[in-house]
Amino acid sequence: MDPRLTQPEYQLVWPRALFAAEAAKLLNDRTTRDWDERCELLLELAFTAAYKGGPASVFREITEDVGGSFDDDPWANPAARSANIAKRPTLTAKQRFLRELLADVDNLREDGEHRRPCWRERQVGRTTRGAITRPAVVREFVRLVYELDDAGYLESRFGKDCVDDPRDDTAVMLFQRELGVDGVWPLDEQRLAEDIDLFFDVVELLHDHVSRPTTRNLHPYAGCGWHHGSFQGEPGRVVYRWRVNKILERSDLGLRIAEEGEDVGRLVTATDDARTQLVQAVTAREDSGPADQVRHALALFRERGADRNQKRSAVAAFALVLEERRHIVLAEALVDGDRGALFNIANNFHIRHQDAKQKRDYDDFYLDWIFWVYLSSIELTNRIIDATKPEARRT
């Protein structure tokens, strides 16, 4: 492993998986004339700019291999010219650098918390920091938005603030139209910290309008800077969700931006890693019908501020999915008594039916428990269905 990969200047500010996907995409399309420029931009966006050096700096300093020029000389001997072309490497030196970086992608740090503890932390034996305050969350978010804006992520929607063509009021009008509030842009830290619901609205609205630039052109006049182009929406939104969630998970707000499901891009209740992976597994299914029901119920349950009735409706939807699979799929996984227990919960705790026999005075945390039991049961049935498909039996 290259020892540089553990250095601070090689810190990712993208999810590792996204960088790997974008790097592989570039390496698989090496015929574009501006390949070097696109790769340099990728490295600048994906890695921290907090330090001098780093992958983009190394990339710029790479000089190409010096080879023969028979292929450029129309008067050269045809046989010698062909032989020289055959000797040329398949990848340029800069392309090889990206390939080597991609090969070592698992060793890159995507979490900036891997730092050595300082004096006071060592004295008390504590290496993790406490939750950051609400004003600190807002402050870090605003700084992130302006960082992304400078890097071109908002240019597709808001335009470039160019010295020859200043940015118009598109951003101002967008917030006014969508949120019904005046004067939101430019973002004001104090105002957002005092009005937390407005802050949450801004977080969700900006998610829908970020795009990753893949090309750029320098406009040097009066220090204008880079003009960006060839925007890609989903990679930009992946970066936005990942970066904002890094801020939210350090707070005590108990929220995160959903990265999957019907409510992707919206703030939802945060859960532990195991339940997050369960949600990702269930929502990743592409089959319609039950999968759509599950995604809708999930969005209903984990919506910010979801009340008891919303959560009960979500659990009832899960119960219907399991009912459809009760005698076929679940019969292969659970004995009859255990199958019955799953539905006794829904039938006796005022979830599916409306009668006086049902228990109504149970605490809300029971709904949370039932929700996750049912969601994990649905994932169990999904796995059984996959395992019994003809193609699975042939492998």
The C-alpha angle 231, 237, 243, rounded to 5 degrees, equals: 125
Separation of alpha carbons 235 and 47, rounded Å = 15
- In contact, 131 and 252? CB cutoff 8 Å: yes
Q: DSSP letters along 350-389, please?
A: TSS--STTS-----HHHHHHHHHHHHHHHHHHHHHHHHTS
Tokens of 264: 């992707």
Separation of alpha carbons 133 and 160, rounded Å = 33
Q: Which residue ranges in the chain fall short of pLDDT 50? A: 67-71, 85, 353, 356, 393-395
Alpha-carbon distances, residue 172 vs 153, 166, 177, 317 (angstroms): 17, 14, 9, 40
Q: Tokens 């039938």 appear where?
A: 347
- In contact, 374 and 322? CB cutoff 8 Å: yes
The C-alpha angle 388, 393, 395, rounded to 5 degrees, equals: 135
Looking at the DSSP assignment, which residues form a beta bridge with residue 313? none
pLDDT of residue 346: 58
Separation of alpha carbons 161 and 152, rounded Å = 10
List pLDDT tens digits, range 105-144.
999 988 765 567 778 777 776 555 668 999 999 999 999 9
- In contact, 185 and 171? CB cutoff 8 Å: yes
Tokens of 373: 């039991």
Q: Kindly give, in sequence order, each residue whose CB lies less than 8 Å from that of residue 2, ignoring residues fewer than 6 positions away.
A: 100, 104, 107
Separation of alpha carbons 158 and 167, rounded Å = 7
- In contact, 110 and 15? CB cutoff 8 Å: yes
pLDDT of residue 395: 43
pLDDT of residue 338: 58
pTM of the model: 0.80
**Can you count the helices (H) and strands (E) in the chain?**
18, 4
pLDDT of residue 356: 46
Residue 202: what residue type?
A: V
Separation of alpha carbons 48 and 52, rounded Å = 9
Separation of alpha carbons 130 and 43, rounded Å = 32
Q: Kindly give, in sequence order, each residue whose CB lies less than 8 Å from that of residue 279, ignoring residues fewer than 6 positions away.
A: 260, 261, 271, 298, 375
pLDDT of residue 308: 83
SS3 221: helix
